[in-house]
């Protein structure tokens, strides 16, 4: 999607923010770390222990939600009684953490985009649906912790994405007005949260999701973090 094809409503919103944009907030899973396949594998493995078989298509249905919300969703649907929802949640988190530490890879353009905003003196934050202990493991594994002045987890919010709470908490921690923030997301759930927080929103969907018409609600859609540059930043600031 090029600047000329951006949604007019998004164009008007970006125009209203003026040139005060000085903060960037990133989602984590599927945007900075290639963890979505590992989440899917961990969920299928753990759910199989309670007699629930989840296909990759079914696991995609809950992308962007907190782990406990994913488990609650499927528990309400399949109604297993061999393990508690809390136990299943902890087992999934343990499994995906170990898989990321063993096999987790950074997404294309990770260091490029972080360096891009660091060199331009942006305040940089992270707002993830993942629990804090998983976030910490990813930041250590990818060796990117020092880039972030604020790291927030929806684990500590009353509501997870698509509610804007975790984005608003991150902006507050950075001392930034939400209207001065760019949010980078990869999922519709996360994009909705960032838009609800009134942030300029850039989406980088997985290849199989790029044609989802809902992404037109974002201010900008990219195929890779490497596609972002000064021209696109200037466009968002206009």
Amino acid 32: pLDDT = 98
Amino acid 5: pLDDT = 41
- Whether 27 is a known active-site residue: answer yes
Q: Which regions in the chain score pLDDT beneath 50?
A: 1-18
Amino acid 109: pLDDT = 98
3-state secondary structure of 153: strand
Token pair 């009684």 in the structure block, residue:
81
Amino acid 19: pLDDT = 62
The 10s digit of each residue's pLDDT in 17-27 is 446 999 999 99
Architecture per CATH, 3-34+106-237: 3-Layer(aba) Sandwich (3.40)
Share above pLDDT 90 across residues of the chain, in percent, rounded to a whole number? 82
Q: Give the active site residue among 27, 34, 180, 186.
A: 27
Amino acid 60: pLDDT = 77
Amino acid 24: pLDDT = 98
Please give the order of strands across the beta sheet that includes 220-221: 150-153, 123-128, 23-26, 181-185, 200-203, 220-221
CATH topology of domain 36-103: DNA polymerase; domain 1 (1.10.150)
Any idea where the domains of the chain sit in the sequence? Answer: 3-34+106-237, 36-103
Amino acid 18: pLDDT = 46
Smallest Cα–Cα separation from 2: which of 238, 232, 234? 232
Amino acid 57: pLDDT = 81
Distance, CA of 166 to CA of 160 (rounded, Å) = 7
Cβ contact 158:178 at 8 Å: no
Q: Give the active site residue among 29, 34, 180, 186.
A: 29
Amino acid 26: pLDDT = 98
Amino acid 205: pLDDT = 96
């Amino acid at each position: 999607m090029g600047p000329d094809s951006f949604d007019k409503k998004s164009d008007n919103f970006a125009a209203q923010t003026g040139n005060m944009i000085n903060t960037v907030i990133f989602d984590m899973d599927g945007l900075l770390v290639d963890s979505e396949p590992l989440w899917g594998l961990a969920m299928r493995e753990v759910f199989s222990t309670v007699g629930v078989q989840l296909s990759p298509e079914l696991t995609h249905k809950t992308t962007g939600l907190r782990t406990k919300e994913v488990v609650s969703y499927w528990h309400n649907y399949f109604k297993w009684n061999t393990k508690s929802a809390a136990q299943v949640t902890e087992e999934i988190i343990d499994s995906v953490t170990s898989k990321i530490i063993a096999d987790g890879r950074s997404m294309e353009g990770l260091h490029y985009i972080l360096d891009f905003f660091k060199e331009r003196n942006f305040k940089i934050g992270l707002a993830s649906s993942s629990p804090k202990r998983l976030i910490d493991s990813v930041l250590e594994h990818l060796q990117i912790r020092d880039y972030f002045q604020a790291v927030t987890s929806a684990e500590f919010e009353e509501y997870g994405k698509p509610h804007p709470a975790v984005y608003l908490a991150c902006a507050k921690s950075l001392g930034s007005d939400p209207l001065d923030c760019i949010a980078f997301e990869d999922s519709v759930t996360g994009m909705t949260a960032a838009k609800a927080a009134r942030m300029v929103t850039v989406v980088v969907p997985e290849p199989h999701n790029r044609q989802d018409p809902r992404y037109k609600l974002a201010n900008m859609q990219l195929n890779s973090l490497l596609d972002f540059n000064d021209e696109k930043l200037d466009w968002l600031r206009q």
